[in-house]
Amino acid sequence: MNNNTQGEDHQPKKESLDSRFNQTLRNVQGLLKGRSIPGKVLLTRRLELFDNSGIQHQSPSYQRSYSQNDAARSNDADKYMEGGVRNTNNSDSNATVNKLRSSASNIETSAREVKSVMGARSTDSARVLKFTKELSGQMIVVERLRELAWSGVPPYMRPDVWRLLLGYAPPNSDRREGVLRRKRLEYLDCVAQFYDIPDTERSDDEINMLRQIAVDCPRTVPDVAFFQQAQVQKSLERILYTWAIRHPASGYVQGINDLVTPFLVVFLSEYLDGSIDSWSISELSSANISNIEADCYWCLSQLLDGMQDHYTFAQPGIQRLVFKLKELVRRIDEPVSRHVEDQGLEFLQFAFRWFNCLLIRE
């Protein structure tokens, strides 16, 4: 009689454990479908309206709120697991409890991963959608693109966005391919005309300038192994020398070599995957290298055209900016300004390189 009673008491307990285990499995399935996380966070996906063109105004974003029902189920399960471990010696019950524990642990891990990944992805996808919408039009509104780019550009979109913002690529998509092809051929003609010639055809000033560039190229970003590759330094040399010959008002000035490096990295990223530490320019064809050099050359030219007095005699543009910085510090933080003066320091002594290299070395 007692044995029958114990068997009957055990049966509901086992069924209860099985039902809780099944409920946990259903919760895990809901988690994988993006619905709920038992006892922790409820992820809800907020869908935005579409305009007539079918392009979403904002990317899907995720909000989180605590689910009291799920929390209650989780707390009850935790209490039951503790009581079950203390009060039962049945092997089937122990196995079920262990499964429940394992499932709860997996849910906790999945919850942490989902929260971090979804938070980043929702923000990134929103920006990607906005850039995609701006870049997909036949005529790009550069001012709108510039405003959008102020907070950063998705890495794989930077080559196209930089070409547009610097005025190298035209905003009209119908003309863009033809203009880029023509400008790249023009760069190759300049290299053949000015660089690929013997020193006997150069003036003494041009020889000295080429030698200075050849000295500075190995010093460019010396702590990054990629820039120490011989082919990379040769590309830098061609870009810098060709630019200097075509801009005799300033010629080559130390510091311009640093300004090329962001362009080189961004345009190389169209052809090379992974981290820059694993890049090898020897993997690229000569045609691709020529296109990258041309894009760097023209973007550098567009950049420096607006600040060429930074590199003419006495560099008046830099001196003007240093003076503005000094006045700005004096108005915003007078104690710091007074301390610099008391120490006999000139802003030009420490701020010159900031403006000469546009903070690239800092």
pLDDT at 350: 92
Tell if the pTM clears 0.85, that is, is over it.
no
- Are residue 304 and residue 330 in the same domain, yes or no? no
Q: What is the CATH number of the domain that holds 325?
A: 1.10.472.80
- Using one digit for the tens of pLDDT, what is the confidence trace for 278-296? 999 999 999 999 999 999 9
- Are residue 198 and residue 235 in the same domain, yes or no? yes
User: How many Å separate Cα 32 from the centre of its chain?
Assistant: 28
pLDDT at 26: 66
Mean pLDDT of the region 135-155: 92
- Are residue 185 and residue 296 in the same domain, yes or no? yes
Determine contact, residues 63/82, Cβ cutoff 8 Å: no
pLDDT at 95: 58
Q: Which helix (H) or strand (E) is 43 found in, with range?
A: strand 42-46
Distance between CA 180 and CA 33 in Å, rounded?
A: 45
Domain contains 66: no
Domain contains 188: yes
- Are residue 332 and residue 276 in the same domain, yes or no? no
More confident residue, 159 or 11: 159
Domain contains 150: no
The full length of the chain comes to 362
Domain contains 349: yes
Distance between CA 272 and CA 141 in Å, rounded?
A: 29
- Are residue 214 and residue 260 in the same domain, yes or no? yes
Mean pLDDT of the region 314-339: 94
In degrees, rounded to 5, the angle at the alpha carbon of residue 353 between the alpha carbons of residues 349 and 358 is: 145
Give how many domains the chain has, as a whole number. 2
Q: What residues make up the domain containing 232?
A: 168-308
- Are residue 324 and residue 292 in the same domain, yes or no? no
What is the 8-class DSSP label of residue 47? P
Mean pLDDT of the region 126-138: 90
pLDDT at 57: 43
